[in-house]
Amino acid sequence: MTISAAAVAQQPATQEQPPGRLEVSAQHTLEVAPNMATLSARLWERTPARAVDSAREASPEALSEARTRLESRMGELIRTLEDKGLPRDAIQAGSLSVQPNYVQGPVNAEGQPEQRVRTQLTRPITLTLDDLETLPGLLDALTVAGVDSLDGVSYDLKDRSAASDKALGLAIDRAKAKATLMAERLNITLGRVLQVQETQVPSFQPQMMMRAGDASTKEMASEYRPGQIEIDAEVAVHWAIADD
Q: Quote the strand ranges of the chain, DSSP E.
A: 21-32, 36-46, 50-51, 91-93, 97-107, 113-129, 149-156, 189-205, 209-211, 223-225, 229-242
**Which pLDDT value is given to residue 6?**
40
What is the rounded CA–CA span in Å between residue 109 and residue 142?
43
Segment 34-77, tens digit of pLDDT: 999 999 999 999 999 887 766 566 788 999 999 999 999 999 99
Say if CB 132 and CB 35 are below 8 A apart.
Answer: yes
Q: Say which CATH topology domain 21-33+159-242 has.
A: Translation Initiation Factor IF3 (3.30.110)
Q: For the sheet with 189-205, list strands across it.
A: 21-32, 229-242, 189-205
pLDDT for res 4: 40
Q: Is the dihedral of CA 131, 135, 141, 146 positive or negative?
A: positive
Sequence spans of domains, the chain = 21-33+159-242, 36-156
Q: Which residues contact 194 (CB under 8 A, 6 or more apart)?
A: 19, 21, 238, 239, 240
- Pair 81, 138: CB distance under 8 Å: yes
Distance between CA atoms of residues 136 and 133, nearest Å: 7
- Tens of pLDDT along 221-239? 456 677 888 999 999 999 9
Looking at domain 36-156, which of 3.40.10.10, 3.30.70.2970, 3.30.530.20, 3.40.50.10440 is its CATH number? 3.30.70.2970
Give the rounded distance of the alpha carbon of 162 from its chain centre.
17
0.85 exceeded by pTM: no
Look at residue 189 in the predicted model and tell me its pLDDT.
Answer: 95
pLDDT digits (tens, 9 = 90+) for 79-133: 999 998 899 999 999 999 999 988 877 777 776 777 888 999 999 999 999 998 8
Q: What is the pLDDT of residue 31?
A: 92
